[in-house]
A = this chain, B = another copy of it.
Amino acid sequence: MPDSTDAIRVAVVGATGYAGAELVRYLARHPKVRIVAVTSEQSAGKRLAEVLPATRGKLDLELEAFDPKAVAARCDLAFTALPHGASTVGVAALVESGCRVVDIGSEFRLRDPAEHERVYGTHAAPHLLEQAVYGLTEYSRDALPDARLIANPGCYPTSALLALLPLVERGLVESQGIVIDAKSGVTGAGRTVAAEYLFAEVDDNLKAYKIGKHRHAPEIEQQLRPSLGEGCAVTFVPHLLPIRRGILSTIYVRPRVGVDMDTFADAFRERYANERFIVLTANRPPEIRDVVGTNDCAIGWTLDEKSRHAVLVSVIDNLGKGAAGQAIQNMNAMMGWLETEGLDHLAVVP
């Protein structure tokens, strides 16, 4: 636990959702921060441990309703993990009050206000879109120290982009026909109380959903566009897995003429040579369990010799590198700390 004189003071806004609880889990053991505020609209006034029993005896805090000014007055940095639509105004108020923000929501990810409006509807603070830094840490690192507002990437985009970017940046794959078949655990939907997320509906089942319509597709395309060009369009199909955490994306690409798996290997190894959270498994595809409970992304690649498709497999914990973990990595980068501070856990296996 940090010495109070050194540590920065942080807030977790929306601490009782799944991403919020994971932030609490990581931050409680982060050597350079002190959690001074945790908010929850539904449970304001309760002790944190009543709602998150895992903190019993370990973290003694009272949940409060989210008041941006009150939070900004006591905190150097706030993590905002609110349901979509609930956070824009609050985030803006935090930023204006001088509190740095890492936003785990989806409202500051699309840079183009028109695109945002098309995908999510009207934006309540469009002036902030320009200054928000898209926090895929491995690709945003230079901009993070000066950021006031970091838009933490979506879980599916994080999984897909970390596998695709080293290849598309070097022009190693055809720009057309990229297929991302992604499978996610249920916490990707947050703590949404809806019939479709009941145990009896999810267990021993699998379904595809929002084929061609998921909001994360435009986010992926936004990040691929600089390399693939304006017309860039990926086919993205998410599936709901009967597991709690983890995303596995199976990605189908066409290597350009003359490109083989050695070229892929070079691209991945060079791009990620110094990255502590990227694990390259080459032709042994990673499994979800390899990364659950961590901030890691593991990536493998294999050529189907006969059909000439290359198959990338990328796994993350949607609450780790796909949410809370990457948020903390972004904070670490923003503060100039080692990016691994507070994030050096091993996966809990089995």
Residue of B nearest to A29 (CB): B344
Give how many A residues have a beta carbon under 8 Å from the other chain's beta carbons: 88
A194, A203, A206, A254, most chain B CB atoms within 10 A: A206
Task: Pick the residue among B197, B293, B303 that contacts A199 (CB under 8 A).
Answer: B197
Query: In whole angstroms, what is the CA distance A196 to B232 when docked?
Result: 39
Q: A206-B288, A288-B205 are in contact. Are A311 and B193 (CB under 8 A)?
A: no
Q: How far is the CB of A274 from chain B (nearest CB, A)?
A: 12
Map CB proximity to B onto A276-314 as digits: 1 under 8 Å, 0 otherwise.
100101000111111111100010001111111101010
- The yes or no answer to A207 lying at the interface (CB within 8 A) is yes
Task: Pick the residue among B24, B29, B252 that contacts A252 (CB under 8 A).
Answer: B252
A177, A291, A313, most chain B CB atoms within 10 A: A177
Query: In whole angstroms, what is the CA distance A54 to B246 when docked?
Result: 14
Copy count, this protein chain:
4
Among A306-350, those with CB < 8 Å from B are 306-309, 311, 313, 344-350
Taking Cβ atoms with an 8 Å cutoff, the residues of A that contact B are 18, 21, 24-25, 28-29, 52-59, 177, 179, 181, 183, 185-187, 191, 193-195, 197-209, 211-212, 217, 233-237, 239, 241-246, 248, 250, 252, 254, 276, 279, 281, 285-294, 298, 302-309, 311, 313, 344-350
Per CB-CB distance, the 7 closest pairs between chain A and chain B, nearest first, are A212-B304, A54-B347, A199-B202, A207-B287, A235-B309, A181-B181, A200-B350
25 contacts between A and B (CB under 8 A): A25-B347, A29-B345, A56-B298, A57-B279, A59-B346, A177-B307, A177-B309, A179-B179, A181-B250, A183-B183, A183-B239, A199-B202, A199-B244, A200-B350, A203-B204, A204-B243, A204-B245, A204-B246, A204-B292, A206-B243, A207-B287, A208-B313, A212-B302, A244-B350, A348-B348
